[in-house]
Structure formats: C-alpha cells, structure tokens
Chains A and B, each alone.
Chain A
C-alpha cells in the first residue's frame, strides 16, 4: 500500500495541476458554463445531481457487464479454436483483423434494423467491441509460449491436450488478463454509445438529455461517471489478476522492492 502511494503521487499531482489550470482558465476568461464549466462546478453538480443520474448508472453497468462477459467468452473460445485447429489460424486471423476495420458505430444502425431497440443489438455491439482485444491478445499469448518449456513437454511425451492445458493455457494467462483489461474499459464506452442509439435508461441517455438542453456541466458529470466506471472495471480485473497470476505479480514485486 505504501508502495502504491509512492508510485501514484506523480500522476495524482499532475491531475491536480491540470484541474487547477482548467479552473483558473475558466475564471480568467470568464467562460460561460454552457461552453466550458469549471471543474468545481462539475464537482458540485456531481454531488447535487445524484438523484437524477443514480437511476441511470445501474442499467449502464448491467449492459456493459453483459456485453463484456459475452464478448470475452466468445473471444476466448475463438482464440482457443483458432489456435488448436490446424490451419484455422492462418485462414481466419486476417479475416478477423479485416472485420475490425468496420467501425462499430457504423454497424450499430444495421443491428438496430435487424434486432430492434431491445437489449439484443446493444449487447451485440458491446460484445463485438470486447471480442477483438481478447481474441488477439490471447492468440498472441498462445503463440509466444516459451520454446524451452515446449521442448521439455514434448520430450516428456505430453499429448496435444496436455500441452494446451498444462503449458499453453497457463502461459497465456497474463495475455488473457491484458485483453480483459482493455475489453473492460471498451465495454463501458460501448454501453454508452449503444444507449445513444435509443434506450430508456443509462448514462448515455442522461448524457444525450444534458447535451440537447445545453446543460454542459451535466455532460461533464456523465463523462466523469464513464471514467469512474471504466476505472472500476479495470481495477476489479487487476485485482483478480493479482490473485490468479501469482508467479508474475510476485516476481514483479520482488524486482521492484
């Protein structure tokens, strides 16, 4: 904990400094609040407007979490199949990269046409956003399996299944987690974007209502909420990682300390 504090004071100081500059600039140039509110105004609004946005947070969390879980599961499964079935990787990997060149925001209206305004197209969009970072980082993790360990496993007579379960999978775990961390932050963003397309509740809805009535301070409140949620997701996964990938985290701490 002490160490965490020692490492985090620099970025924290920078954030405080940026906020101070922002605050000073707004006051100095006498900015109207609808154009750029001061951080202090955003903070006050964040505290006071709780009753009106609290109802939105839950539905964004549910949506993001659902999409994240579906996307991660499909991503993991896809990476495993591409890795284990001979020839699949070569055939499908370029296609996978290609699909990522289609911006999800372009797909969104299509999915709405096909699946309506319910939860289905929203979950699909978030899952699509989360799928890619996981699939790619897990595939890379599999491919970067240590040659010496692989050689030992083969010489010891391990079968394909044993090599996957006992070597490749645990070896790829750190990559799994880095994919999950990226996907987690994407999932919150994805959820907000899908809420813009039409929803009854959610931070995205709160944000649209605020911006269409030029309540810019509330738009910033929404931005803050999105950031806070992303950080929360990220932190949770980091916590699970620290408990799961013990050999890496231990090594890391010993080297640092």
Chain B
C-alpha cells in the first residue's frame, strides 16, 4: 500500500524551527501538491520523508510501516534532472531499480518509447535537451520499485513552453501508471492543473494552513487553465498565500 501519513512532524535545523507539527496524508494513487513560499521547509520535509534527516518529533508512515529515518522507501525526482553523465539514458532510468537491488525493469525501453525518447536509449545525458533530461529523470522515478513518488519542483528550471508541455506529458503518463505522488511546487497554476488535492503550508515553522480539493475530472486538457472555475480556485489560493496568516 502506498499511502503516506505524516503526523505532527517537528524539525529544528540549528536555531530555526522548520516544521512545527505538520500533519497530512496522501491516499493511494492520489496526486497531492504542496504549495508554500520558498524556504517554507519543503525540502526539509522531503529529506525527512526520504530518511536523510530524523524528525525531532512526530511520525511518518508508508502504509502500515513507520519510515522515519529509513532510506530507500520512496522514489524521488529532484529539481534538476541529476542524471549520471557516464551512463546512457537507458542505464540512467534503470538506476533506481539498481540501487534498490530490484531486477532490471523489463518495460524500460517501452517507457522511453512512450516518452518520445525511444531513439535516445543509448545517448548520453549531455546530448539531450533540458526537457528530455527531465523526462528521463521522471521515467527513472517511475521505474523505481517503490510505489510512492516524491517530486521536488521538477519543472522549475524549465522555460514556460517546455514546462507546459512537460505538465501535459506528466499527466498523461501518470494517468496510465497511477502512483501516489507528493509534488512540491511554488507555481499555483501547476499545482491546480496537476493535483487532486493541494496543501498550503504556513511560513516557518511550517504547519498545514489549508487544503483544497481540485474538482476537475481527468483526463485534463490545457484549456482548463483558462476556465472560470480554474481561475476562481487560483484566485482563492493566491489570496491565501499573500494574506498575513499569523
């Protein structure tokens, strides 16, 4: 079961209280985004879920298993593609499985084909464009054996056109291979367009400020962004983010 439950998470880094009792859950097969100002402790949260840091208090569970301080329980896609330059695209997308000690994913070539990277299986990362590198990184996280994927602002380094293209592509791929996803971004539009639910965090020490259910049905298409309903949610969230909340 890939259901993530974070309960009353506390973390201090040096003198700063980064997380001050954060609780939320991500259901099985759900796409949840975390929206918050830069430096609101989102990367600390990922490091806690990834097991790189130990929380000062609170619980993190994946299904029935407590995973605090345990590494390798989730699949991860970082902000920058972070592909190993000496490996071909094919060997890069197999890396997650390799680290986990799982057998080579048999559908690797198939997935690359679907991502429009079929002809690049034997290419090296520096031969790809930024968008292609990021697609490779996402396929790597999909081919990792873990059922839960954390995406850390994966499109923030891309230009506006590539970004829109990537969002559409991510959605179609995810709708075909549903996984539980926790997605961090500070782009409101992106959060609404992609997710089932949006969590908004307060400033440090971060807590859950509010939560939005995104009502749009899937599959979603880009013209959704211009609909009145979409703009309405966007306005609400923007207001919430700019309001002084403490």
Which A residues are closer than 8 A to B by beta carbons? 146, 148-149, 151-158, 162, 166-167, 170, 173, 245-248, 250-251, 254
Contacts and interface: CB of A to CB of B under 8 A. Distances in A.
A32 B96 CA distance: 72
Interface stretch (B71-79, B175-183, B234-242): B71-79
A245 B124 CA distance: 12
Given A155-B52, A156-B96, A251-B126, A170 B84 contact: yes
- Dominant secondary structure of chain B at its interface with chain A: loop
Contacts of A170: 84, 86
B126 A250 contact: yes
A247 B86 contact: yes
Given A148-B82, A247-B124, 18 more contacts: A149-B84, A152-B78, A152-B82, A153-B99, A154-B52, A155-B50, A155-B71, A155-B76, A155-B78, A156-B75, A156-B144, A157-B73, A157-B100, A162-B99, A166-B84, A246-B124, A247-B126, A250-B127
A250 B125 CA distance: 11
B161 to A, nearest CB: 24
Contacts of B62: none
A74 B71 CA distance: 34
Nearest to A157: B72
B95 interface: yes
B51 interface: yes
Contact of A167 (B75, B78, B84, B126): B84
Interface residues of B, number: 29
B140 to A, nearest CB: 9
B5 to A, nearest CB: 20
Interface string B227-238: 000000000000
A151 B82 contact: yes
Contacts of B76: 152, 155-156
Nearest to A251: B126
Contacts of A152: 76, 78, 82
B80 interface: yes
B38 to A, nearest CB: 18
A155 B46 contact: yes
Interface string B34-64: 0000000000001100111000000000000
Nearest to A153: B99
Contacts of B144: 156
21 contacts: A146-B82, A149-B84, A151-B78, A151-B82, A154-B71, A155-B71, A155-B74, A155-B78, A156-B76, A156-B96, A166-B95, A166-B99, A173-B86, A245-B86, A246-B86, A247-B85, A247-B124, A250-B126, A250-B127, A251-B126, A254-B127
Given A155-B52, A246-B86, A250-B124, A148 B80 contact: yes
Contacts of A254: 126-127
A18 B132 CA distance: 51
Contacts of B51: 157
A155 B137 CA distance: 13
Contacts of A173: 86
Contacts of A251: 126
A155 B150 CA distance: 10
A37 B29 CA distance: 84
Contacts of B79: 148
Contacts of B86: 170, 173, 245-247
Contacts of A157: 51, 71-73, 99-100
Contacts of A248: 85
Interface string B96-135: 1011100000000000000000000000111100000000
Contacts of B99: 153, 156-158, 162, 166
